């Protein structure tokens, strides 16, 4: 894993946007994997600015997001679908039909996961996958102790993740208990991975992730086995290294 320590959140976001844009310049029909959460918001803003400045054209890309709460309607303000359109997709020229998120409204969530996985395969796999990391080491909704081999699946959120995500909802009870999430097996298939990590609260898990030990207790540690990962950290997140 290559790690680059950035001065602050803005520098990390800017550098992250260059990595994404460079992927699209090199391969205009790239398949890009996106993430939600607070960390990539700055990067999405930089990419929108680059698009508006005529520096990058998203018309050929296909997008797949990592995860979605379940059950969750697309129009809910806390759905990841809403997040992505509100902050990113609506402001660039990606084609609507090329945008994919796991379907939080599916009546058969298991089947929806299988279809999602098939669609990624049919599109030729993910060229560049963007990731964040939870305080507990989760990636997407692959929680500590989960299998490292699974593909897109229905998963139960841990109490830790429910507590961390409650800040986006009116109260903790409103946070859905389940999600549809790409599995570590799907994520490890991406050709390139870009992980963004920001803030002091992530410093302890960053230290564990780079410890050299690969363990299901820290799902992010498995990225040590991937041969093309760039981790951009701000100084606060890197403070324990
Ligand atoms: C989001 C996702 C999550 C977040 C993680 C960090 O699609 O898959 O794993 O990346 O929870 O979230 P933030 O960035 O809010 O700290």
Query: What residue's CA is closest to ligand 1, atom 8?
Result: 140
Query: What residue's CA is closest to ligand 1, atom 10?
Result: 132
Ligand 1 center–CA 137 separation, angstroms: 10
d(CA 83, CA 86): 5
Ligand 1 center–CA 85 separation, angstroms: 17
d(CA 234, CA 88): 22
Q: Edge-to-edge strands of the sheet including 153-156?
A: 67-70, 178-181, 153-156
Q: Which of 98, 138, 153, 234 is catalytic?
A: 138
Do 181 and 113 touch, CB atoms closer than 8 A? no
Would you state the pLDDT for residue 1?
94
> Taking the C-alpha atoms of 22, 190, 180 and 87 in order, what is their torsion angle to the nearest 10 degrees?
0
Mean pLDDT of the chain: 96
Q: Which pLDDT tens digit goes with each residue over 31-60?
A: 999 999 999 999 999 999 999 999 999 999
Check pocket membership of 33 for ligand 1, CB cut-off 6 A: no
Do 132 and 161 touch, CB atoms closer than 8 A? no
Active site residue 135: no
Q: Which pLDDT tens digit goes with each residue over 150-208?
A: 999 999 999 989 999 999 999 999 999 999 999 999 999 999 999 999 999 999 999 99
**Mean pLDDT, range 7-16, rounded to an integer:** 98
Would you state the pLDDT for residue 148?
87
Sign of CA dihedral 37, 60, 57, 184: positive
Ligand 1 center–CA 142 separation, angstroms: 11
Q: Which pLDDT tens digit goes with each residue over 62-119?
A: 999 999 999 999 999 999 999 999 999 999 999 999 999 999 999 999 999 999 999 9
* Cα-Cα end-to-end distance for the chain: 14
Check pocket membership of 66 for ligand 1, CB cut-off 6 A: yes
Ligand 1 mutation target, pool 12, 32, 37, most atoms within 8 A of CB:
37
Active site residue 86: no
Active site residue 49: no
d(CA 209, CA 218): 7
Q: Which of 65, 103, 136, 142 is catalytic?
A: 136
Question: Which of 90, 31, 22 is closest to 60 using CA atoms?
Answer: 31
Do 109 and 180 touch, CB atoms closer than 8 A? yes
Ligand 1 center–CA 192 separation, angstroms: 18
Check pocket membership of 229 for ligand 1, CB cut-off 6 A: no
Check pocket membership of 36 for ligand 1, CB cut-off 6 A: yes
Active site residue 81: no
Q: Which two tokens stand for residue 82?
A: 């809403």
Query: What residue's CA is closest to ligand 1, atom 12?
Result: 37
d(CA 80, CA 102): 9
Whether this model's pTM surpasses 0.85: yes
Ligand 1 center–CA 239 separation, angstroms: 20
């Amino acid at each position: 894993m290559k790690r680059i320590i950035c001065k602050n959140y803005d520098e990390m976001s800017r550098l992250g946007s260059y990595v994404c844009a460079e992927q699209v310049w090199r391969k205009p029909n790239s398949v890009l994997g996106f993430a939600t959460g607070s960390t990539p918001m700055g990067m999405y803003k930089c990419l929108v600015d680059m698009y508006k400045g005529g520096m990058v054209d998203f018309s050929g890309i296909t997008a797949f997001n990592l995860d979605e709460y379940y059950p969750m309607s697309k129009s809910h303000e806390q759905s990841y679908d809403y997040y992505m359109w509100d902050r990113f997709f609506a402001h660039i020229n990606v084609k609507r039909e090329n945008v994919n998120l796991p379907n939080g409204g599916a009546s058969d969530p298991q089947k929806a996961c299988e279809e999602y996985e098939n669609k990624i395969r049919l599109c030729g796999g993910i060229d560049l996958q963007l990731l964040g990391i939870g305080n507990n080491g989760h990636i997407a909704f692959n929680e500590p102790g989960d299998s490292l081999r699974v593909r897109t699946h229905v998963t139960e959120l841990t109490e830790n993740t429910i507590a961390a995500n409650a800040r986006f909802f009116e109260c903790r009870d409103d946070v859905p208990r389940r999600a549809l999430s790409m599995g570590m097996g799907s994520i490890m298939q991406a050709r390139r991975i870009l992980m963004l990590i920001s803030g002091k609260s992530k410093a302890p898990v960053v230290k564990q992730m780079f410890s050299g030990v690969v363990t299901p207790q820290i799902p992010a540690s498995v990225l040590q086995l991937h041969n093309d990962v760039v981790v951009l950290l701000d100084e606060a997140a890197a403070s324990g290294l």
